[in-house]
Amino acid sequence: MDEKHLSQRLVTVANFVPIGARLADIGSDHAYLPAALALRKQISYAVAGEVAPGPYNNMVREIASHSLTETIKPRLADGLAAIEPSDRINTVVIAGMGGILITKILTTGQARLAGVRRLVLQPNVGAPRLRQWLMRHRYQIMAERILAEDDHIYEVIMAEPSIVPFRYSDYELTFGPLLLEKKGPVFAAKWHEYYHRQMEVIHQMKQAQKVPVKRIQELNAKLAMVKEALENDNGE
């Protein structure tokens, strides 16, 4: 993968970045995403943030190699601390991390989200926790995608601030309110695999000397939701 040949995961993320956006890509690694967007004139300005010196130095070299130093500003900073008021950022991407870490970044840097009109988030795991954070902080999920690449399944969430009250059920937080509308084969594959894995966990728990009854009940309740979601699959 490079800035001209993004992974399908990053292509999906890129598709949610508006034309002309002033972008902050947090955890940008080699800055492949902002570089690709800048080269195709999809963004007008970008901040590429990295917390570690190694990836930061990679970004600096990558940006300079494409003569993008006027468009993309590399920043060595923790999370949203990479954003400065003068950047006038309106779109934030955080991709390739766990959902818990993404929620921590958003919470810690919440003051720097003023003026941001769109969040594009790609949690590797922990998407329900991230959706819960969005709901609690009044960011409505406007689009979701699920895709498989290199034996991994990824979910991409695009959310925007809302002035209208809304609420997601536990069912929607678990599976994705918009993914439920059009599930498809990748959705089915993810949750079938989860269902069978957890069934094996329950089987092993039942063999324990002291059976964890409460935990088994919790897992069975979750599996009932999974079964419902799979049985109601619209087959799209």
The CATH number for 110's domain is 3.40.50.150
Asked if residue 213 and residue 152 are part of one domain, the reply reads no
Asked if residue 162 and residue 193 are part of one domain, the reply reads no
CB 153 within 8 A of CB 199: no
pLDDT value at 29 more than 70: yes
Cα separation of 125 and 67, whole Å?
35
Q: Name the band, by pLDDT with cuts 50, 70 and 90, for residue 5.
A: confident
Name the domain boundary from 166, 194, 209: 166
| Beta-ladder partners of 153 | 148
Domain that holds residue 159: 8-166
In tens, the pLDDT along 112-127 reads 999 999 999 999 999 9
pLDDT value at 62 more than 80: yes
Confirm whether 176 is domain-assigned.
no
Asked if residue 124 and residue 58 are part of one domain, the reply reads yes
What pLDDT score was predicted for residue 232? 78
Asked if residue 211 and residue 135 are part of one domain, the reply reads no
Strand, helix or coil at 121?
strand
Q: Residues with Cβ < 8 Å from 65, sequence gap 6 or more?
A: none
pLDDT value at 137 more than 60: yes
Lowest mean pLDDT among 48-52, 137-141, 204-208: 204-208
pLDDT value at 1 more than 80: no
The mean pLDDT of 199-211, rounded to a whole number, is 93
What pLDDT score was predicted for residue 97? 95
Strand ranges across the sheet with 118-123:
72-76, 43-50, 21-26, 91-97, 118-123, 152-161, 139-149
What pLDDT score was predicted for residue 2? 57
- What token pair was written down for 62? 């990558």
Asked if residue 202 and residue 159 are part of one domain, the reply reads no
What pLDDT score was predicted for residue 218? 94
Q: Name the band, by pLDDT with cuts 50, 70 and 90, for residue 236.
A: very low
CB 113 within 8 A of CB 87: no
Asked if residue 134 and residue 48 are part of one domain, the reply reads yes
In tens, the pLDDT along 75-110 reads 999 999 999 999 999 999 999 999 999 999 999 999
* DSSP H or E stretch at residue 73: strand 72-76
What pLDDT score was predicted for residue 235? 46
What are residue 208's phi and psi, to 5 degrees?
Answer: -65, 155
Confirm whether 113 is domain-assigned.
yes
pLDDT value at 181 more than 90: yes
The mean pLDDT of 170-180, rounded to a whole number, is 97
Number of domains within the chain: 2
Residue 102 to residues 5, 98, 144: CA-CA distances in angstroms? 25, 6, 16
Asked if residue 202 and residue 145 are part of one domain, the reply reads no
The mean pLDDT of 35-63, rounded to a whole number, is 96
Residue carrying the six token digits 């590797």: 124
In angstroms, how far is CA 104 from the centroid of its own chain?
13
Name the domain boundary from 166, 192, 207: 166
The mean pLDDT of 181-207, rounded to a whole number, is 95
Asked if residue 74 and residue 34 are part of one domain, the reply reads yes
